[in-house]
Amino acid sequence: MGKEQKKQISRVSRREFMAGAGALVLTGVLSGCKPDVITTTVNSTKTVTHNETQRITQTVTSYITTTQTVSERSSFTVTDMAGRTVEIPGVINKIATFGANGVLNTMVETMGCGAKIANQMRANFTKTDKWKYQFVFAPQLNDCPVLETGSEIDIEAVLQLNPDICLCMSLATATLLEAKGLAVIYLEWQTLANVEPCITLLGRVFGKEDIAADYMDYFNNKVAQAGSLTAGIAEQDRKKVLYGGITSYTQPHAIAEWWIYQAGGYSVTSEGRNVEEVTHPSYTLEDILMWNPDVMVTTDTAMAGELRAMDTLKDVNAIKNNEIYYIPTVAHVWGNRTTEQPLTIFWMMNKLYPEIMPLDTLREEIRYFYSHFFLTELTDAQITEIIG
């Protein structure tokens, strides 16, 4: 756990396990991933009591036993989110993601298997540095083959890579790859109803049921925490927020209506829109003038300048008060479907009501999430860049 975390220890987390164990040589990557030998050396200044040391030692012993057992598991079948029965190999060394590389990689990384992603992202993810943190979480991506050109899959390259498991969000892609004899899992993360079944399925596929349960506890606890923090905001006092491709008059993901509200705001595009429906509504310049949003959140860094340059919008509150923000992209775009969604809520809350979500608190939420789930210690400079 990051050295600035000031939480009472109630159990040994994966990060505390690493620190407490010091130097460990483990046969087998965690729960079903590649059975390499990993040496982890951690210099820690944390004072550990005798009881804590004994508990950590017991956990290490149990951890190694569990790892050895799961690493030797036999193949098994699961039902994916399209109702397809898929046979999963006992040991997963190589994971390939197709189509929505950003969100799929993020899911894999949350499960602690980011090092097993075996293909580079498509060109639309790598032509700018927007997804640069993918190479922080999974640096091997730089040396991995590209399996897609545009919307076309390079089947020859896929078969040469021969991934143990393929992840996609397109039934057409799943059908194509399955026909080539590959194990393909179809996933969905469009609405809130998809979150738990998606995470649970990934936990089963990768032998990471404990991490899946841990994530769902985290997700539910953080949503509840956000609700408590914003409980005192009256409906009529919620700040009005416009999110998305504002200059093209689109809001790309219905789930944004949810996280804006959870952060204490009111999404001006939410009226009549069910967050459990997958729709991409459009609006007009006249709608923006009528809504008069207090805050605008853009999906492109250049968009703020474009909006300020529009004379017709000069009297909109967000423009007048310079309340235009760029949604972070870390493992994936925070405003869209991503396991990072709880951080989106706290980030938006900080922009709307810094008095109830102070900057220092937001920084520690970000630090903890990527340390605990992605096993990556972000620097202060990186966290500052993410917050914007």
Say if CB 264 and CB 356 are below 8 A apart.
yes
Q: Give 35's pLDDT tier (boundaries 50, 70, 90).
A: very low
- Which one has a higher pLDDT value, 30 or 298? 298
CA-to-CA distance for 51 and 38, rounded, in angstroms? 27
192 or 12, greater pLDDT: 192
Helices 192-206 and 209-229: angle between axes, nearest 10 degrees:
150
Weakest-pLDDT range from 71-75, 185-189, 345-349 = 71-75
Give the per-residue pLDDT at 67: 37
pLDDT at 24: 34
CA-based Rg of the chain, rounded to a whole angstrom? Answer: 22
Is a pLDDT exceeding 60 seen at residue 158? yes
Can you tell me whether residue 250 is helix, strand or coil?
A: strand
Q: 192-206 and 101-110 are packed helices; what angle lies between their axes, rounded to 10 degrees? A: 60
pLDDT higher than 70, residue 378: yes
> What is the rounded CA–CA span in Å between residue 317 and residue 320?
5
Q: What is the pLDDT of residues 232-254, one digit of tens each?
A: 999 999 999 999 999 999 877 78
Distances, alpha carbon 207 to alpha carbons 15, 76, 91, 108, in Å: 18, 11, 9, 12
Domains and CATH numbers, the chain: 14-71 (no CATH), 76-214 (3.40.50.1980), 232-387 (3.40.50.1980)
84-132 pLDDT tens trace:
999 999 999 999 999 999 999 999 999 999 999 999 999 889 988 899 9
pLDDT tens digits, 137-150? 999 999 999 999 98
What is the pLDDT at residue 14?
Answer: 47
In the chain, % of residues over pLDDT 90: 69
* pLDDT for res 271: 77
* pLDDT, tens digit (0-9, with 9 covering 90-100), for 48-90: 333 333 333 333 333 323 333 444 679 999 999 999 999 999 9
What is the β-pairing status of strands 76-79 and 85-88? antiparallel
pLDDT greater than 70 at residue 260: yes
- Classify residue 99 as left (phi > 0), alpha (psi -120 to 50) or beta: left
The dihedral of CA 134, 138, 142, 147: what is its sign? negative
Q: How far apart are CA 31 and CA 25, in angstroms?
A: 15
* Residue 204 to residue 103: CA distance in whole angstroms: 19
Rounded to two decimals, what is the model's pTM?
0.80
